[in-house]
Structure formats: C-alpha cells, structure tokens
Amino acid sequence: MIVCAWLRWYRNVVPLLAVALFAPTAASALAAVNLVETETLREAVAEGKLPPIGQRVPAVPLIGEYNQDIGSAGKHGGTLNMLIGKARDVRMLYVYGYARLVGYDRDLKLVPDILEGIDVEDNRVYTIRLRKGHRWSDGHPFTSEDFRYYWEDVVNNKALTPTGPPSGLLVEGEPPKFEVLDRTTVRYSWTKPHPEFVSSLAAASPLLIYRPAHYLRKFHEKYAKKVAKKSAKGRRRSWSAVHNKKDASYRFNNPDLPTLQPWMNTTHPPADRFLAVRNPYFHRIDQDGRQLPYIDQVEMVIVDFKLISFKTGAGEADLQGRGLQFGDYTFLKRNEKRNEFRTLLWYSGKGTQFGLFPNLNANDPVWRALLRDVRFRRALSLAIDRSLINQVLFFGLAIEANNTVLADSALYKPEYRSEWARYDKKAARKLLDELGLKRGLDGIRKLPDGRPLEIIVETAGESTEQTDILELIRETWREVGIKLFSKPSQRDSFRDRIFAGETLMSVWSGLENAVPSADMSPGDLAPTNQNQLQWPKFGQYYETGGRKGVLADIPEVVELSKLFATWRASSSTEERENIWHRMLKIHADQQFVIGTVCGVPQPIVARTSLMNVPERGLYNWDPGAYFGIHRMDSLWFK
Amino acid sequence: MLNYTIHRILIMIPTLLMISLVTFTVIKLPPGDFLSNQIAELQSQGDKQALEKAEFLREQYGLDKPFIEQYATWVGIWPGARGYSGLIQGDWGWSFEYDLPVKDVVGDRLMLSFILNFTTILFTWAVAFPIGVYTAVRQYSWADHSLTFLGYVGLATPNFLFALVLMYFANVQFGLSIGGIMEPQYLGQSWSWDKALSVANHLWIPVIVIGTSGTAGMIRRLRANLLDELQKQYVVTAKAKGMPPLRRLIKYPLRMSLNPFIADIGNLLPSVISGSAIVAVVLSLQTSGPMLLDALQSQDQYLAGSFLMFLSLLAAIGMFISDLLLAALDPRIRLSGGVAK
C-alpha cells in the first residue's frame, strides 16, 4: 500500500522538460518489490537456457503503471490475436509495443521509458542515461556502444547512409557533437536549440538513435572482412544493402535482429501469419514484481483489409482497432454476445475527420484569386451544416469543429474550434455578395468571368464516408448559390493532380497531431511539405530548399512560415506556447483548411476476457501510437 | 499428328514472348513506379529524407534504366546486375514490396491456385454434365426450366456478391471461419492431412461461386448439341429397333455432343483463373489473385509480370491440351478439314 501511494506520487512528478535533472529515485522502490519469475519461462530457467529473473531485468526497471481505474494486477499467459491488412504491417508490433527511449503516458506527458533519465540543458545539450543491466532480447547488454555504433558506423558511413544523419538530428543542417561519457551515458550537443529532440524519440515511428551493435557488426565491412563477398542470393552485391536489409528495427521483419520491445517477431517473411513471443529481457515490471508483458504471444494474421471488420465481427480478433470504422459499430454490437467480445468507443485524434482543402496553388487564375480571398473560404465554411453531418453519419457522437487541436491538448481554446464554424446561411450569402459573385437565373452564382460557380471537389476514392459527407455539403452549398461536383479518384493521380495545381479543392483528414504540447513541432501548420493539400507548391518550396515549388506570397502564410522558424530557434517553452497560439489563431481566422467534425468515435474490439483495456481512450498515430500509450504490455487474459 | 504437335509447341514460344512484351508494357504504363509509392508512404510517416532515399534505391533497383533494357533484363536476353538471369533462365526476378526473390514470395500460393482452379473446373463439369443431359432429354419439363433458371442465376449474380452471401451464411450456420483458404494455424505449415482437410472445408465456397457462373453456358451448349443429335435419323432407327432408352442415349448421341466439354477447357481455364482472382480478393484466399492485385497496385513490376507470365503459360498449355484431347475424342476433327456429316 505504501508502495502504491509512493508510486502514484512518482508517476505524477512534473514533466521532465521543466526539470534539469530527473533523479533515479526508483532504486529504493525496487528494494521493496520482490521479483517474481514468469511462469511460462520457469522451465527455460530451470534448464539453464535463460538466467533467472533477477538477472534479466535492469538494476532499476521501469515499474509499469497499468490503469489504476481498473485496478488489479494481471497474470502471465495467453495469446493475443490481431488482424492486419498486409505483410508490411507487422511493424505494428513495434508501434503497439511502444518501448521508446522516452515515451508518452496516457495523459500525453513525456516520461523516460527505456532510459533511466534524460538531462536537458537549454534545449541544446541532452545527456542520456541508460539503465544498468538492461539487455537486448538475446541477452546481450544494451550499452552506450549501441548508440556509438549508430552514430559513427551507420549514419556517418557514406556507403550505408549516403544521405547522412536524419533531419531529426540536424539543426539547420548542423549535426550534433556526440560523446560517450561512460558505459551507460551518452551526450548530444548542438549549438542552437533543438526542442523537438525528445518528442521525436517518443513518436510512433521514432527517431531511432541506437542499434544492436553486436548483431549488426557482423554485416558491416569495417568489422567483418568476408561480408563484401556475400552476393550469392538476390540482386544485392554490396554489403551496405545487406546491412540495411538486416537493420529492420522498425520494420520488424527480421526475427534474428534483437529488440527492446515487449514481444519479438519469430516469423521470417514471406508469411501470412506472424507470431511474436515475449521478450524475456523486457525492462518493465508491475508493482508486484512480475515482469511485463503479461501476455505470452501475439499473433498477427494477414487478411484483406476490407474483410477486417467482417472477421472481427466473427470473433477472430482479441484486440482490434485497425480496419474498423464507425460505420461498423452496429454490426459489431450485434455480434458481441455470440462471439465473446466487447465493443468500446474510443475517439480519433485527428484535427478533423473530413477536411476541405482549397488549393491555393490552383492553376486557373480566376479560381486561384477567389480561393485566396479569405472571405470566400469563410463563406464556404459558414455554409456547411456540421450538425447535420454529425447526426447523419456519427449519431451525434462526434464534435462539430474547425480543423484545430482537440480539447485534450493544453493549447486548446474554444474560439479556435468555433470561429467561422457555425451554420449561418445569411452571413455566407452576404460574404459572397460582397465578393461580387452575382446569382444567375438558376440560383447558381457566376464567377467574375461569367462561368458558373461550380466547384469540383476531388477525393482519393478510398472512403464512402467522404462521398456521403460531400452529398450533405452539396445541399447546403446550393442554397447559397454554389454548385458542388464530387469526383472520387485514385490516390496517386489524386495527389499528382493536386501537386500540379489541376485540382480546385480536395478532401482529406485534418491535422495529424491534434493533441500537441507546446514543445511538439507546429510544422503541419506552416508550409513545410508538398503533401499539405492546401498549399502543395509552398510546401514543396520548403521541402526542396527552394529548388522547386513556389515561394509563399500570401501574407498570412508568410507569417506562419516566420513563426515556425522562430519556434525552431526558440529556447523557452513559454515562447513556444505563444507561437503555437498565434499560429492556431491564424488558422482559425483564415480557414486554410475547412474542418467539419472531430473526435469521431473509433470502435475498438476487445475480447471479454481481456483485462486492462480502457473504456475510453485516444486512438491516434502520433502522439499515441494507437495502442502504444495505453500500454499493451499491461493487458492480460483472465 | 506428330507434326501438328511439334508445330503447336513451337508456336507457343513466340506467343508467350508477345504476351510478355504486352504485359510488361501495360504494367509500366501508369506514371511513376514502385518507388514513387514508397516516397509517399515514407513521407506520411514523417521521414523528411524520403526523396533522397528513394533516388538511392531507384538506382540500386535499376529502375532508372530505359524501358527496353528493363524488359530485356527481365526476360533474360540482356545481362543485368547478375549476368544473364531472367525468365528464360528460370529467374523470376526480384519483388520490391517483399524485398525477396519472386520465387520465395510466391511459395504455396501457386499450388493453392492450381488446386482451386482445377477443382472449380471439375465442379463445373460435374454439375453441367448431368443437368445438361437431363434437360435435353426432358425438354421443356418443369425440371428443365428450374435447373436452367438456377444456372442463369449463378451467371447473372456478380461473383463477389454471391461469395459474400455464402461466406456469411456459412459462418452463421456452420461456424466456418470467414475467408481464407484454410484455418489460420495451418498457414505456412507443410502439408498434412489436417491441413488438406481444412482446405477442403473452405474450398467449397469459392468453388461453388466461380463454378456456377461457368455451368450455365455449358449446360445450354450440351443441351443444344444433344437435342441436335437426338433429332437425327439413326436415333429414330434405334428406337424403332427397340434399343433401351438409356443405351440409345449414351452409345452415340452423348458421345457426339461431348465436344464442347473438351473444347471449352481452352476457354474455361483463363476465365476461371481471372474470375477466381476477384473471388479470392473478396474471400481473402491465399491464392495468386490477391497477391497479383497488390503487386499491380504498388507497381511491383517483376512480381506482377512473372505471375502473369506463369498464368499465360498455364492458359497456353491448357488450350494446347484441349486441342489434342479434342482431336483424340472426335475422329472427325483433323487438319485436312473437309466436310464430315
């Protein structure tokens, strides 16, 4: 009981970035916890194949916090079945397992996970401290050598990585100074601030700055002389291609590669079924001293993506979120009892489920001028009946909103959500009249050059939900004099047309990360990427360093770019918070992306006997890693 | 006869060569290639150096070479990274999606495809034959109309719809696992009696679905041919002479009207293979269809191309065998032609 209370305090310690030093006080806690051997590994330990539990967990393991509101500790055993759409998705084991150097907890606070601690100085110098006695899944020690190998022999080796260190390690093109201080401590130092470093370590697809050196060394020309001659199989001759192939930490399709995740893949591709077994050297334990994960095995079966909801309804998955959408909810509920599972409703973490992206780089000059006029975009937004969309498609369970952050985020303000997002036909008509768009005899307005105001909105053709929402929008836009044609396309040509400026308006989901904190990058709010469908050419300009694309010339967009640059160079959380607010305000004001609903319910199916699955949770890629922050290692079968 | 056989075999080679050229051209027609898809995927994961990584890979995979060189390397008439190694030499190429040689990726699937298609053809015969005969003999009877109607329903209903209905029905009534050609635990395991049993359990749905669309045509053809034969003089003579009805039916008229069965193998094989692709995707069977579709969508050119070449080879051989069998069955069919009445 004392341990419980102590742990609760330990868990609520102030977020690490505000603290200079994170003291490893858990050592005293460990002394009070007796380690219990994992039942399923008892035999292997008795035969001497594995060392006993005391030598398998680090000296100071992470004491895993499972959901206090559900309560009880779990027991070891069981196989969890999940369904995936293609072989590449076996990397979901890495995502769901969510063992990161630093990770998010359920409240989206950054907490050291694999690391014992991380010291942040001025957002420029990061000192990383590993846990003593932490081992890879094959028993070899996890030390600073694994970081050094990555830095010197992987990213700074021209043959292996011709593009050099990843952009996550560069600050304005400048690489860090890397030092190994001792066996369990390394340090990265930059001359300018790099506030994104820690959050990029905690991402679902993280900045991975370490490798299992003892394994990969066998494929590196510097350490293994006969490696270069391995050209018998496949089209590969070069050792670098072989090394890159073996180095599948994220892809998770090399069973021989040691990992730090709770389960390790044991199936070689190609396969239709992947089996992952527990990692006997996992660094987390529960508060009764049992090593996590509770579940022994995870099995992932490949099925056609469209069949996932069908098969889940037939009871073939123990835990499933991928491939299920809200439209499947009634079907799943109906089959619950018969197939022994329960259907939970979590919520999506996207800025908006369905967003309209007016193309500010459209080729047609008349349309381009019109789309760039903020009054037009505001009128379009005012003419959308969001509550109708909510009722018809989501049973009223979603939230009507702009494309902005969710209420979960500390940066949320109600006006970001509601500005220009009400349903007001009169105000919309007024704005359109102000723009000089006269109505014709049939009620449809005309462009300045006489053509009728007919917008062709293109979709990627992958979701009937999008087409349905466009139908609803068409009705209300017609009442203010705008004609809408929807054109489902195919993802590649859909994207190509937008990039080329052929498309007037497109449909996609909104902000990828709608639960940010001030220290997460606001890159999505500024032109940084060609894939931002509202300003593809501005984004391309930034991405290619000015070689292609068009420099932003709209004053508000230029301001967003400036703010983003300031954020990257800023040195205090407060300053970053202010910048975020200014950027969010501009977006709400300018309606660059017209949002409709957010917080869309996401059905999650869980077996009746599977415990510790939260009733309601955030289902988001980054931050969140889908099931990651909900700690899959703490799930157990009754 | 021998000349004819040799001639047919020899002409398969230029035919297959033409097929390979057309196939490869069509696969390469859509803009971009495998890597342009990869770039988009890498970028959506937040990898900011996706463009440069892809350029590096493009050179490694040889995707920056001109079209004709890529085609020639694939077929094996031009030396590639590993010398002369292409279809002619038995090397099916490299799959970018799976990062393995095509041969390793395809594995069990071809065998299961073959089993599925073969069983479907057998089913089509087994159903069409008795129904065709019966409807010819009992023309315009109640049974004739209803059986023909059933055949037409099978033909008219889209395959995928029929497959979904049957699959749901099987799951609710019999508790059969949805989709898949066998229970998940047997995937990837070597063949055993249990595995074969599991495959048999799941096979009946796709076989019925694909088979019924083929039976309608065959029933009508057999019926028409048999009716023609039954009108002829010699049948009347046999009846007058007191031959029992069954013998009267089987000894000559039936054998004369068997032609469409054999001749249709040529047509049936390609249509069953392509029909089964759609059903396999819907039912999530581990056969060649879904893999081929995926490969085409992601422009994994060598996997798709080699697959299609294998299927074309099967079709070409099938047609050849059908022609040979037909010649063996019906002595009237000879190259010398002429009118035989």
**CA distances in angstroms from A168 to A163, A180, A336, B49, listed in the order given:** 13, 20, 44, 10
Bridge partners of A594? A356
Q: Do B184 and A301 touch (CB under 8 A)?
A: yes
pLDDT of residue A168: 84
pLDDT tens figures, B243-253: 898 888 888 88
A275/B203: higher pLDDT? A275
Chain A hits for B171, Cβ within 8 Å? 314
What's the average model confidence in pLDDT over A363-373? 94
Residue ranges in A290-395 assigned as alpha helix (H): 308-313, 329-339, 365-372, 374-382, 386-394
Q: Which residue of A has its CA nearest to B43?
A: A531
pLDDT of residue A330: 92
**Separation of alpha carbons A53 and A278, rounded Å:** 14
pLDDT tens figures, B286-303: 888 888 888 888 888 889
The tokens 């005012």 sit on which residue? A382
pLDDT of residue A386: 95
pLDDT of residue B316: 86
pLDDT tens figures, A382-425: 999 999 999 999 999 999 999 999 998 889 999 999 999 999 99
pLDDT of residue A23: 36
| Lookup: tokens for B237 | 């003579």
Q: Mean pLDDT score of chain A, rounded to an integer?
A: 87
Query: Could you count the other beta carbons within 10 Å of the beta carbon of residue A601?
Result: 19
**Separation of alpha carbons A460 and A438, rounded Å:** 32
**CA distances in angstroms from B5 to B1, B10, B39, listed in the order given:** 6, 9, 50
Confidence of residue A598 (pLDDT cuts 50, 70, 90): very high
Q: Mean pLDDT score of chain B, rounded to an integer?
A: 82
B341/A187: higher pLDDT? A187
pLDDT of residue A72: 65
Cβ pair A292, A76 in contact under 8 A: no
Which range is least confidently modeled, A21-25, A217-221, A381-385, A595-599? A21-25
Which range is least confidently modeled, A3-12, A458-467, A486-495, B230-239? A3-12
Confidence of residue A276 (pLDDT cuts 50, 70, 90): very high
**Separation of alpha carbons A256 and A138, rounded Å:** 9
Query: Could you count the other beta carbons within 10 Å of the beta carbon of residue A103?
Result: 24
pTM value? 0.80
**CA distances in angstroms from A36 to A75, A132, A291, A483, listed in the order given:** 11, 20, 7, 68
Q: Do B101 and A203 touch (CB under 8 A)?
A: no
**CA distances in angstroms from B15 to A140, B8, B12, B84, B141, listed in the order given:** 58, 10, 5, 22, 47
A320 pLDDT higher than 90? yes
**Highest-confidence range of A299-313, A359-373, A450-464, B145-159, by mean pLDDT?**
A359-373
pLDDT tens figures, A107-163: 888 889 999 999 998 888 999 999 999 999 999 999 999 999 999 999 898 888 877
**Highest-confidence range of A29-43, A102-116, A474-488, by mean pLDDT?**
A474-488
Cβ pair A353, A362 in contact under 8 A: no
pLDDT of residue A229: 56
B314/A567: higher pLDDT? A567
- What proportions of chain A, in percent to the nearest 5, are helix, strand and coil? 35, 20, 45
CA distance B19 to chain A (A): 25
- B292 φ/ψ angles, rounded to the nearest 5 degrees: -65, -45
pLDDT of residue B54: 73
SS3 of A338-355: HHCEEEEEEEECCCCCCE
pLDDT tens figures, A437-467: 999 888 899 999 999 999 999 998 888 889 9
pLDDT tens figures, B28-48: 888 777 887 777 666 665 566
Element (H, E) at A542: helix A536-543
CA distance A209 to chain B (A): 14
pLDDT of residue A118: 93
Judged by a CB distance cut-off of 8 A, whether residue A269 touches chain B is yes
Q: Do A267 and B45 touch (CB under 8 A)?
A: no
Q: Do A543 and B51 touch (CB under 8 A)?
A: yes
**Separation of alpha carbons A244 and A301, rounded Å:** 26
The residues near B178 (Cβ < 8 Å, ≥ 6 apart) are A307, A310, A311, A314, A316, B167, B168, B171, B284
Minimal CA–CA distance to A136: which of A90, A99, A175? Answer: A99
**Separation of alpha carbons A486 and A489, rounded Å:** 10
**Separation of alpha carbons A557 and A437, rounded Å:** 25
What's the average model confidence in pLDDT over A295-318? 89
Q: What angle do CA A336, A96, A68 make, to 5 degrees?
A: 70
CA distance A313 to chain B (A): 10
- B273 φ/ψ angles, rounded to the nearest 5 degrees: -65, -45
Judged by a CB distance cut-off of 8 A, whether residue A573 touches chain B is no
Cβ pair A312, A336 in contact under 8 A: no
Percent of chain A at pLDDT exceeding 70: 92
Q: Do A235 and B180 touch (CB under 8 A)?
A: no
What's the average model confidence in pLDDT over B99-116? 82
**Separation of alpha carbons A458 and A467, rounded Å:** 10
pLDDT of residue B49: 64
Confidence of residue A65 (pLDDT cuts 50, 70, 90): low
What's the average model confidence in pLDDT over B41-59? 68
pLDDT tens figures, A480-514: 999 999 999 888 788 889 999 999 999 999 998 89
Judged by a CB distance cut-off of 8 A, whether residue A155 touches chain B is no
Which range is least confidently modeled, A285-294, B120-129, B264-273? B264-273
pLDDT tens figures, B180-194: 777 777 777 778 888
Cβ pair A60, A27 in contact under 8 A: yes
The tokens 């300003």 sit on which residue? A535
**Separation of alpha carbons A554 and A559, rounded Å:** 9
Confidence of residue A237 (pLDDT cuts 50, 70, 90): low
At position A84, the amino acid (one-letter code) is I
Mutation pick from A84, A163, A304 vs chain B, by most beta carbons of B within 10 Å, is A304
Q: Do B98 and A271 touch (CB under 8 A)?
A: no
Q: Do A273 and B104 touch (CB under 8 A)?
A: no
pLDDT tens figures, A538-555: 998 888 788 888 999 999
The tokens 């970018």 sit on which residue? B96
| Lookup: tokens for A613 | 């699955």
**Separation of alpha carbons A126 and A194, rounded Å:** 10
Q: Do A245 and B99 touch (CB under 8 A)?
A: yes
